[in-house]
Amino acid sequence: MNNQFLSFVEEQMYLRRYAKRSIQTYLKWINSYIRFHGGQHPATLFDKDVEHFLSHLVSQKHVAANTQAIALNAINFLYKEIVKRPLSPDLRFAKSNRQQKLPTVLTVSEIGLLFKAINANYKLPAALLYGSGLRLMECVRLRTHDIDFDFKNIRVWNGKGGKHRVVTLSDELLSPLRSQIQFVNHYLSLDRSNPDFGGVFMPHGLRNKSPNACFTVGWQYLFPSKTLSIDPESKLKRRHHIDESSLRKAIASAQRAAKIDKRVGPHTLRHSFATHLLQNGADIRTVQDQLGHADIRTTQIYTHILQRGGNAVVSPLKNIF
């Protein structure tokens, strides 16, 4: 039942225009929920069974609050949209109180070592993660027209929580980005000579409004995949963006090559961006806007890792040593 049922859920999520990553995440948790209950069909289960599963995630798996919330969202979707029997809004389950970890941050010198060691093919997207504080998926989903050379900023559309924002763009990246767009234009010329090419994936609202926009350079992904692939929703042949896992692996490989004794991933560069902005005197509200945080308390975590503390507090030990 599992594979056939999950395939149906996947199809329904595509029809509802969920992002590919969201579909993968929801399917993972729905599958875990079904397995936890011995393969029973979700229609035979309900509130108490969901409560049991969510409590299990905390008591046995020790998941963080955010992880438990994602699992709940997935199961909510399952019952509301697939089973057609919405869960009670008053579910009672053990909630995670696991403390959020302080982020890993690289020093400026470590950032330099990392960029010297990184594969040249991934240096520019990694530079945007650090230089503009982008999230991994925000970076790989950039379109060429999201780069504003006149005002030196990047427009981020539908970031976390579906929010839009404008972030800073370093002068040092202007020339590499122009070269990258020329590279994208070259790919597009080759693709348009392919009779099977269906254009780049377009946001749903623009597909009918601007049917030819998918063939323009402005809508092409800034970091395109090397190969064409079949769009699982439309079945058309398209050039997608680079796989996020390849950028993640390139950063991890660079960390090892640079002999940096910290666990480094794409989000480490975003953490470092925020921390270094605060170290250089940026206002925390400005950093909040750059990161796209809805709550300033999320941004304040970076003040905890600064040497002088969140409020520029100097340790009294300074007067003794």
Active site residue 135: yes
Cα-to-chain-centroid distance, residue 109: 26
Q: Where are the beta strands (DSSP E) in the chain?
A: 147-148, 153-156, 165-168, 229-230, 237-238
What number of H helices and E strands is found in the chain? Answer: 13, 5
**Residue 293 is among the residues annotated as catalytic for this protein:** yes
For Cα atoms 251, 147, 300, give the angle at the middle one, nearest 5 degrees: 60
CA–CA dist 275, 102 (Å, integer): 12
Query: Is 271 assigned a catalytic role?
Result: no
Choose, from 160, 164, 192, 285, the residue flagged as catalytic.
160
Q: What is the DSSP secondary structure assignment for residue 80, as one 8-state letter? A: I
Active site residue 143: no
In this structure, the strands spanning 229-230 and 237-238 are: antiparallel
Given the residues 123, 155, 165, 267, the one annotated as active site: 267
Q: Catalytic one among 141, 238, 239, 270?
A: 270
37 catalytic? Reply is no
What's the token pair of residue 182? Answer: 């020329």
Q: How far apart are CA 210 and CA 201, in angstroms?
A: 12
Q: Of 239, 240, 276, 293, which one is the catalytic site residue?
A: 293
SS3 314: coil
Does the annotation mark 160 as catalytic? yes
Which residue carries 């991933």 as its tokens? 265
Which of 122, 130, 135, 276 is flagged as catalytic? 135
Set 79, 122, 130, 302: catalytic member? 302
Q: Which long-range contacts (CB under 8 A, 24 or more apart) does 175-183 make?
A: 176/124, 176/127, 177/124, 177/147, 177/149, 177/222, 178/149, 180/124, 180/222, 180/223, 181/144, 181/147, 181/217, 181/222
Residue 272 half-sphere exposure, CB side, CA atoms within 13 Å? Answer: 24
CB atoms within 10 A of CB 241: 20
Q: Classify residue 187 as exposed, middle or buried by CB count within 10 Å of its CB (0-12, 13-18, 19+).
A: middle
Report the catalytic residues.
135, 160, 267, 270, 293, 302
